[in-house]
Structure 1
């Protein structure tokens, strides 16, 4: 290890340590006198305290998963799908562990969209840039081995009373039979990882994977040299090449998370002894409290309003309080306090006769509101069989209607056509199930999943967890009644058992709705849900049901063309280099660009000494060498070929030959829609590969065309409207090109003298301002000096002064309120605006500027979708997709006259203040490419 470091950063793999502590006592768990399982809290605290006592770290930080989907889930929806659900008692322990860390004054890092491993990887990379700092990853996870370096080690807790182990590069590589720690990624890519559901290559286990990587060095090199492999193994590897590449992406830790976190914020601090002692006494760890903080008097909390913690007037002995999340929301987690169906009086009805059904339908049609749920044989609403429906009018009473062969579902049309508010949990799924069975529905709707997402986006939104947290109730779990031969088989559940389960679902959904409605009002977002999100549900259901027609022959032809294009680029690169080079090998590329060509004086290197060749680095080098542009073009083309051209045919439904993506309504912070399986939101428009992909999306038959209706420069128009800047408003009102207008003003020239380069620079400034771009960021995008970039920004604000005033006002208002808000009232909490950490505060200020703009654009397109969907009701044409600011419609040949109405509907979806007009470009074509 060389000289001893003057700084030692210990990074806690929080969830891994919590699991380890919980299972260490699994055969004889520790419990408080109130029955709370305290094993995880005790083991976790003991481990952290021992590290602090024995290792004397100068810095210590804890990393946790954020509980959100990550880029890996978007890349591979089955990622971690096989992982068992966290035990309820362990889940109940996490809020206590977070409170313990806060009392120990250890920073807690979580970031939506990233796993704890990514945060750890980023922190260790930052630490490597400090010559006097060593980092120690407190974990047993082999995946973290890829991060090891001469200054980054793994501190592996010992079992029971055993001493911890310190694992360095030399030991790790020797254990795995590899040359560099990073090659563990290649081994995992081949053998897969059952715990994370990383597929790997079928038939290749750990031994074979080690052997292949020892011989070939990397997955990419192995795939490039499969001709050297004999027998069946070669065929298996070649047939599963895409799986290997995918698996490597899934196994690779992201070391460039935009944390905006200064390592010095993790400097070791003294405990908050009073707070630490209070929670240790709550958990009845008296000896641990005496050891760590001298046994100060106990301080307790007692339950208050679910969303407003209230200090107890008097301590209560042995009271395990509700845990609090980061927003101060109390979550009722104690296992002993959760009620079940056997604890609460209820009346659940099994409806089997025609008379009972007719009576229920009459009540449904006349009631002001009711909850409903569908039971199906699986999770595909378009193809799985409907088994039954459940309904509830009042808490603790519900009805289950089995749907058997010959059942006339149309008898329920009066109920679903009524003016009653229909309440559900994940309503979109239920609507698709009913529509697939030819039962039409109408609103209004209330979705408890969406409501809870709007109120507490950082929490889990499945009904089971919500029932525990909000109602102190433990629901019947499907896996406990429907598991057969290791798989869920709902169809085999006895009728009475399924009826009880389904009726409880409708009952709990109704109770959750009654609980959440006042919270929506209290937080000022009820109107947003009623006007946008709930009316959007049938629109999204319709889009998913319709699907998009795609021509696999065009995709196959495009894949072939792209393959030829890739070969041409490869030959061009080989010719320029003077020898064959493996473009997929970061090592070969790095050695070429920086070792031989020396395109940078001080190129960045990875922890293993390999040159960094990521996209950001290469894009900065494009002006220096046309070879780099070819490399980037090859990478993008290869990615799109594998992700779309070759993969899209696998998503074609055998039922109707169309692709049915899943639209995610509220997973983004701005309110933008996302899509998965497949993700159609990330298909580029300007690249040749993107154009080839769009060409394959075609109308449903020869009597239709694709209509594309696309908002023009909507975010810039929103900025003009919010700021009220007269120059921007006048430019939009007159229909002049906004980027030319901006260039003329910032460069102080006439419009006719604006060059293409000037217009491009102005365009970068226009869009950069929306995101609060800095002079450094602008200089990177324009490849100019920071001084020139700063002058451009200053000139922009000089010419458009009200934009600067608007940005300052947005930050001030958000700081005062604690959130940023769109024109429609969508809110985004920004607690970091009050942070003492300058980096966190600056990032939050940029978000405070961007959210009202980008979020308003998201609201606008959603409102447009609702209006266009309603416009098309009763017509042959159908809304089939939304991509960013664009709507796609299957337009029947007899209905071309509706195009002006579509444009008008979009332009009137959300009128902007200060008279800023909205523009919509609408075109038709034989495919998506022609129409766009």
Structure 2
């Protein structure tokens, strides 16, 4: 008989881990609730259940800390931040889900989860169980035995880790797992405020254990130590013994392993479904139901259907009435060829067939005031995809699908019949990501006119931190799960089908459902936009921007591929030479791309940065850019490694990748602009991402040289807002000193330097100006003295003095920043000059780290967002001028505060003042906007 397995989950360790895994992109519900911690924990739990199929499972929670350890040491865990609100909210939900899953919760007041798990693990081991302690916490390694293992859940693409005795001995460089307690006692633990032995870090602890074997033996033989370490340990023997006691997991808690109770049983699926829907965990509900209740998934039994239940119509008369015509209106005989039979479903979706059916449908379509439409195509590349069908909806629960022939001449004839609808100024067109549809239809000579409503963008303004794809929105707001595209054509890969391979009946259900759902979402979002006071922003900026972006994406930009090929060869040669230099400096050949090998060379061998370098949770040294940048001035090898990394990234991401992104049909590069990604309102760019081309390095700037004008008759023009964010904060804060400097066209960084360093303008040094520039831009993002000293040659004390002098020079700036934070605390959001809101749910958090991040956003979001809004207005106005004037010149790119144009040489003199005027007058403030314009054969030259 095989050995039974028990899995014990360390609840809070997994909850905190899950919460911080989503910290940069939190999971927010439509009601504004942060569900990151719940999602993170449930991901870990579900992964264990699916992967391991355990016989027995339980979850242990802390409740009120450890009475025993507090009695030993009152400062135990004293310096921990307040638990984030999202985690406090999460715990009751998690426990409710566990109860619904019939998973036992182990919780005893005054006892920590570590001790509960340790006690039960040892009890279960005696009953011949294999025990897996599911936790990322290394402290549990002390409990590992022949039948007790540490189970570290998968994270960030890495697989699970299971630590048995060999893994623990190797990780801690010890002879027995119990020595982990001595290791932890010697090192101490800043998170738990366990003091440890002063001067003993990880390396020293391992060394001492190899020599002495235990804390007690070390303290009994301090005469064998030397120097400062000996003095420190001898003076802190009591701390060492205390620390070991604090680090020891207790094995005698008042809990008992209950084999029957811990057996994994079938959950209450109805209850879990209810909780998952409440939390808006759509994918998790689907996964859960597939695991425990496949029928509910297949038949969608557990989801409330908002779509109107209409019985299938069987007579031709009933089918005919769907189009809104009576016998007298049609004047034609009704036959079965007009419309396809309706399936017996809980909605009314219909295929438009036959000339009469098409004619009647278009007549009815033209009588509508608001219609949702959706294109079905052969692929997601809007430049090369062909129409497979069109779906329409203008009444809840009803939709129509029109299949298109594969022959493109025939398809064009069919599209032409719909031109009056698409080009009608009086019919509102609704869509989800309608920019894609605009681009598809443009290939068929259709220009969509009239009012637009994009549900994806509407929701972005309503709840910018949430996801905006249609299925998520439908499940959240309509409590209805639409059929996914993967269910129709399969997942991405060589086996994925084309839409042309799917039966018309299947496409009809899928496409008509999309139109119906999107139509219903529009009805939901319209009043919410009004309530959130973002309707004006929606109508006057975001929606008018859609055709502007579509035109830019369709136009694309010319790329000098031979130049990039040459650059690739040169870059490969230079990076290889630099790699060789680094290996020579290190005295050995190693893999620069391996963080493990790099950390060992820099920190173990070369001792750069001193003995106490941070390690990641996997036990490797942290070698990220932030760490190495901090050490760059300490050794040339660090500078060389950073340069090598940048060269390799430039080559793979841009130099070698860009030529592959040239469209075969147009011969140009066509980026996609996304309006619904950045919460600040800034556009983001994808395929390729042109906004992330580094411009601070010479090699990064050189990539811009590859972007060239259309041909010899055209010139690239770059128009760039000068210091727009500083101008905005000066205007919003009403800071007279800064406003005056801008109005007098002074060099703002030099002007700031003169004021904060108290020197005449003409005596400002290059270094003073550079430091003032760093503060000017850093202050918006809440730069600290520590951060400023890292970015400049200033000491931390000098940096602090510079920041103080800065605020004394610009006192209203500091008041404005505090006002923004206060406004956010009171209202839960901040907003741009045009009313774009950034919601800050953590602004009143008791967790200092979380709250500080929200406070920084309270200051910089209105600045960044206002800059984004202003350039969008400029783009809309310039596009309008170019279209109305039938210019040959085209707007091609928007990159941060810069616009790039392909300008016909005959229009070069005329277009520059027009662009400058429109950009500088897009939004009027107390501080004038300034635009710098450059021209050239390539982007680098123009910029």
- Bin the TM-score by the shorter chain: 0.5 to 0.7
User: Could you give the per-residue CA deviations for residues 145-184 of structure 1, whole angstroms, max 9, x where no partner exists?
Assistant: 999796475999xxxxx99742589964999999879xxx
- Report which stretch shifted further, 370-379 or 782-791: 782-791
Aligned residue in 1 for 2:687: 677
**Residues 1:101 and 2:94 aligned together:** yes
Q: SS at 2:690's partner residue?
A: coil
Distance 1:170-1:580 versus aligned 2 partners, 3 A rule: closer
Aligned residue in 2 for 1:351: 352
Aligned residue in 1 for 2:923: 910
Q: Pairwise CA RMSD of aligned residues?
A: 4.6
Within-5 A mapping of 1:43-442: 47-49=58-60, 99-101=92-94, 151=139, 165-167=149-151, 172=163, 324=278, 336-339=302-305, 343-344=309-310, 346-404=347-405, 405=407, 406-407=410-411, 408=413, 409-419=415-425, 420-442=427-449
**Residues 1:545 and 2:557 aligned together:** no
Q: Distance in 2 between matches of 1:668 and 1:102?
A: 34
Q: Which has the larger radius of gyration?
A: 2
Aligned residue in 2 for 1:708: 718
Aligned residue in 2 for 1:470: 477
Q: SS at 1:47's partner residue?
A: strand
Within-5 A mapping of 1:655-734: 655-734=665-744
- 8 A Cα contact 1:421 1:445, kept in partner: yes
Q: Distance in 2 between matches of 1:839 and 1:95?
A: 16
Q: Please point out which of 880, 883, 890 is paired with 1:878.
A: 890
Q: SS at 1:336's partner residue?
A: coil
**Residues 1:893 and 2:905 aligned together:** yes
Q: Distance in 2 between matches of 1:864 and 1:664?
A: 17
Q: Please point out which of 446, 452, 455 is paired with 1:448.
A: 455
Q: Please point out which of 827, 844, 850 is paired with 1:840.
A: 850
- 8 A Cα contact 1:348 1:398, kept in partner: yes
- 8 A Cα contact 1:558 1:692, kept in partner: no
- Report which stretch shifted further, 517-526 or 748-757: 517-526
Distance 1:683-1:173 versus aligned 2 partners, 3 A rule: farther
Q: SS at 2:632's partner residue?
A: helix
Aligned residue in 1 for 2:936: 925
Aligned residue in 2 for 1:619: 629
CA drift at 1:509: 1.2
- 8 A Cα contact 2:685 2:691, kept in partner: yes
User: Could you give the per-residue CA deviations for residues 688-730 of structure 1, whole angstroms, max 9, x where no partner exists?
Assistant: 2212211111122222221111111010000111011111111
User: Could you give the per-residue CA deviations for residues 440-495 of structure 1, whole angstroms, max 9, x where no partner exists?
Assistant: 11242111122223223344433233223222334344444555996343213333
Q: Distance in 1 between matches of 2:135 and 2:495?
A: 36
Q: Distance in 2 between matches of 1:10 and 1:584?
A: 30
Q: Distance in 1 between matches of 2:917 and 2:750?
A: 27
- 8 A Cα contact 1:535 1:866, kept in partner: yes
- Report which stretch shifted further, 509-518 or 393-402: 393-402
Q: SS at 2:719's partner residue?
A: strand
Q: Distance in 2 between matches of 1:318 and 1:830?
A: 30
Aligned residue in 1 for 2:779: 769
Distance 1:780-1:174 versus aligned 2 partners, 3 A rule: same
Within-5 A mapping of 1:586-665: 586=595, 589-590=598-599, 593-595=602-604, 597-606=606-615, 611-665=621-675
Contiguous gaps of at least 5 residues in structure 1: 1-6, 27-39, 67-93, 107-132, 137-143, 157-161, 182-267, 269-286, 290-316
Within-5 A mapping of 1:470-619: 470-482=477-489, 487-573=496-582, 583-586=592-595, 589-590=598-599, 593-595=602-604, 597-606=606-615, 611-619=621-629
- 8 A Cα contact 2:534 2:836, kept in partner: yes
TM superposition score normalised by structure 1 = 0.68
Contiguous gaps of at least 5 residues in structure 2: 1-9, 19-37, 70-76, 100-116, 121-131, 153-159, 173-248, 250-259, 263-270, 290-299, 312-346
Within-5 A mapping of 1:784-795: 784-795=794-805
Distance 1:734-1:318 versus aligned 2 partners, 3 A rule: closer
Distance 1:691-1:319 versus aligned 2 partners, 3 A rule: closer
CA drift at 1:590: 4.2
Aligned residues: 708
- 8 A Cα contact 1:570 1:634, kept in partner: yes
**Residues 1:863 and 2:864 aligned together:** no
Q: Distance in 2 between matches of 1:766 and 1:661?
A: 32
CA drift at 1:512: 1.0
Distance 1:498-1:745 versus aligned 2 partners, 3 A rule: same
Q: Distance in 1 between matches of 2:824 and 2:90?
A: 31
- 8 A Cα contact 1:882 1:888, kept in partner: yes
**Residues 1:11 and 2:19 aligned together:** no
User: Could you give the per-residue CA deviations for residues 117-163 of structure 1, whole angstroms, max 9, x where no partner exists?
Assistant: xxxxxxxxxxxxxxxx99x9xxxxxxx9999796475999xxxxx99
Q: Distance in 2 between matches of 1:104 and 1:373?
A: 38
CA drift at 1:619: 1.8
User: Could you give the per-residue CA deviations for residues 339-381 of structure 1, whole angstroms, max 9, x where no partner exists?
Assistant: 2879345544433344544444454445332111111122222
Q: Distance in 1 between matches of 2:161 and 2:477?
A: 50
Within-5 A mapping of 1:727-746: 727-746=737-756
Q: SS at 1:681's partner residue?
A: helix
Q: SS at 1:663's partner residue?
A: strand
Within-5 A mapping of 1:793-872: 793-872=803-882
Aligned residue in 1 for 2:33: none
Q: Distance in 2 between matches of 1:730 and 1:378?
A: 54
Q: Distance in 1 between matches of 2:455 and 2:400?
A: 19
Q: Distance in 2 between matches of 1:147 and 1:322?
A: 24
Q: SS at 1:889's partner residue?
A: strand
Distance 1:61-1:736 versus aligned 2 partners, 3 A rule: closer
Q: SS at 1:439's partner residue?
A: coil
CA drift at 1:771: 1.0
CA drift at 1:63: 13
Q: SS at 1:166's partner residue?
A: strand
- 8 A Cα contact 1:425 1:449, kept in partner: yes
CA drift at 1:621: 2.7
Q: SS at 1:882's partner residue?
A: strand
CA drift at 1:572: 4.6
Distance 1:585-1:344 versus aligned 2 partners, 3 A rule: same
Q: Distance in 1 between matches of 2:744 and 2:603?
A: 50
Distance 1:61-1:767 versus aligned 2 partners, 3 A rule: closer
- Report which stretch shifted further, 598-607 or 779-788: 598-607
- 8 A Cα contact 1:365 1:416, kept in partner: no
- Report which stretch shifted further, 507-516 or 625-634: 625-634
Q: Please point out which of 757, 762, 779 is paired with 1:752.
A: 762
User: Could you give the per-residue CA deviations for residues 611-654 of structure 1, whole angstroms, max 9, x where no partner exists?
Assistant: 44332222223333344322222221121112111122222222
Q: Distance in 1 between matches of 2:168 and 2:448?
A: 61
